[in-house]
């Protein structure tokens, strides 16, 4: 029989500790700094308790910075991240390049068939699901019911742009720091250009005609930008050219916006009494139209994807499955209430009677279902995508166009000058790309 000395026990413990340390896997997750993603970080202990061999490290970035960082990393095969938060624009392009890991083998209980068809379709390439949606969204009108009532107006469930302007004018009270409408003005293909591209669809505008010719010199884009500038100049807050989603959310929650047209996911934030001073005064409507058969709403999903360069694919799949599961939805509901669960991804959520009671649930679903990325515009187009064009060159081009439009909003140039520059730079970039 071998007699173990205290030194032997210490050595054995050291070997065990070293073995355990080697077995632990660290996942580096890149995500955007919005409320739902920050909430997920706060609930990560639930995941690590179930998977004690996995450690999670977060890289949380502003939206434009996130897009730049993950795009640079995946294109260069840098391997900085094991899980990336990316959108409906990137997934089909990167999936087709084999830059992402297929998620077709997620566990059966994850229930891929429960994902809303519009959302799942945008994340699938040739039958392979390349990202799991954390939340899905369209865009809609969020407005102050009390200010509308005081003005003697009622917001239609399906307003026109004329209705929007009338309401914005009636609710504007600059002397008391209340502005009739807040819209995105910050430059970025996913910031002001997401809103303006969706808005332009409702006026019959297109990014490109069927021959990939830029269309910013057409009257539909002139009407779009004139309408936007009129709303923002006369009824919008000062400094709007630097306002994106987060800035406008803060303004609305502080009671400084009579109306805000933006992502449906914001509904839970503006109705949360912990954060919003107008939580019990918010109404919802579909995004506006101009009577041409298309509304100015988009279709998007912030999703979790695994880059092909990750060396922890199996562990990353475990995290993705956890964060986008029905169980995670139930976890958020138990901790934060049904109003704060990630919306817009699963059919089962909208069949849940508790969730259906929320004032924004049905309007969110109707908005998502009304957006068609395969037929986004009034006239025929050669591309898919509602608030974006699903080609690799779009992000760079739209960022430049967004800078021109933001400069017009800031008063640095006219609408006509901004459109002329947008036409020229888009034409040059597309010709250089071989279109």
Going from the C-alpha of 17 to that of each of 54, 274, 368, the distances in angstroms are 15, 44, 50
Three-state DSSP state, 430: helix
pLDDT surpassing 80 at residue 188: yes
pLDDT single digits (tens) 124-162: 999 999 999 999 999 999 999 999 999 999 999 999 999
Going from the C-alpha of 203 to that of each of 289, 376, 398, the distances in angstroms are 7, 12, 19
pLDDT single digits (tens) 368-426: 988 988 899 999 999 989 999 999 999 999 999 999 999 999 999 999 999 999 999 99
Percentage of the chain modeled with pLDDT above 90 = 88
pLDDT single digits (tens) 384-393: 899 999 999 9
Cβ contact 184:192 at 8 Å:
yes
pLDDT surpassing 80 at residue 52: yes
Looking at residues 272-294, what average pLDDT do you find? 97
pTM: 0.84
| Cα gap 222→277, rounded to integer Å | 37
Going from the C-alpha of 433 to that of each of 76, 97, 190, 395, the distances in angstroms are 20, 17, 21, 13
pLDDT surpassing 90 at residue 9: no
Closest listed residue to residue 116, CA positions, set 373, 369, 372, 346: 346
pLDDT single digits (tens) 196-234: 999 999 999 999 999 999 999 999 999 999 999 999 999
pLDDT surpassing 80 at residue 313: yes
Q: Which residues of 112-149 are buried (b: 16+ CB within 10 A; e: fewer)?
A: eeebbebbbebbbbeeebbbbbbbbbbbbbbbbebbbe
Give the position of tokens 């502005």: 179
Residue 177, sorted as left (phi over 0), alpha (psi -120 to 50) or beta, turns out to be: left
Residue 126, sorted as left (phi over 0), alpha (psi -120 to 50) or beta, turns out to be: left
| Cα gap 382→413, rounded to integer Å | 31
Cβ contact 304:134 at 8 Å:
yes
pLDDT at 324: 98
Residue 109's Cβ-count burial label (10 Å; 0-12, 13-18, 19+) is exposed
């Amino acid at each position: 029989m071998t007699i173990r000395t205290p030194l032997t026990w210490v050595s054995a413990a050291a070997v065990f500790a070293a073995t355990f340390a080697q077995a632990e896997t660290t996942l580096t997750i890149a995500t955007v700094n919005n409320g739902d993603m920050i909430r997920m970080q706060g609930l990560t202990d639930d995941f690590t308790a179930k998977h004690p061999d996995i450690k999670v490290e977060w890289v949380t970035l502003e939206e434009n910075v996130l897009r730049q960082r993950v795009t640079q990393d995946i294109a260069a095969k840098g391997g900085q991240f094991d899980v990336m938060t990316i959108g409906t624009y990137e997934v089909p392009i990167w999936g087709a390049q084999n830059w992402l890991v297929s998620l077709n083998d997620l566990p059966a209980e994850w229930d891929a068939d429960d994902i809303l068809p519009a959302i799942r379709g945008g994340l699938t390439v040739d039958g392979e699901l390349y990202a799991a949606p954390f939340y899905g969204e369209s865009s809609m009108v969020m407005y102050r019911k009390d200010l509308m009532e005081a003005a003697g107006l009622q917001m239609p469930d399906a307003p026109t742009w004329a209705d929007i302007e009338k309401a914005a004018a009636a609710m504007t009270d600059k002397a008391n720091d209340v502005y009739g409408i807040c819209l995105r003005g910050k430059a970025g293909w996913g910031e002001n250009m997401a809103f303006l591209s969706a808005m332009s669809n409702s006026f019959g505008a297109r990014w490109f005609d069927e021959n990939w010719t830029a269309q910013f010199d057409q009257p539909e884009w002139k009407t779009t930008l004139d309408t936007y500038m009129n709303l923002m100049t006369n009824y919008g807050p000062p400094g709007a050219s630097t306002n994106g989603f987060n800035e406008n959310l803060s303004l609305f929650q502080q009671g400084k916006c009579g109306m805000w047209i933006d992502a449906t996911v914001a509904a839970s934030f503006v109705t949360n009494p912990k954060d919003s001073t107008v939580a019990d005064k918010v109404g919802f409507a579909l995004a506006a139209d101009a009577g041409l058969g298309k509304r100015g709403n988009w279709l998007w999903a912030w999703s979790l994807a695994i880059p092909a360069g990750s060396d922890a694919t199996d562990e990353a799949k475990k995290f993705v499955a956890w964060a986008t599961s029905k169980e995670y939805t139930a976890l958020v509901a138990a901790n934060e209430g049904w109003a704060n669960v990630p919306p817009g991804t699963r059919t089962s959520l909208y069949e849940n009677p508790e969730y259906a009671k929320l004032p924004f649930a049905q309007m969110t679903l109707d908005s998502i279902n009304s957006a068609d990325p395969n037929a986004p515009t009034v006239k025929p187009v050669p591309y898919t995508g509602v608030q974006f064009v699903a080609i690799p060159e779009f992000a760079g081009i739209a960022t430049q166009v967004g800078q021109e439009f933001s400069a017009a909003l800031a008063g640095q140039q006219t609408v006509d000058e901004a459109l002329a520059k947008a036409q020229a730079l888009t034409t040059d970039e597309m010709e250089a790309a071989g279109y």
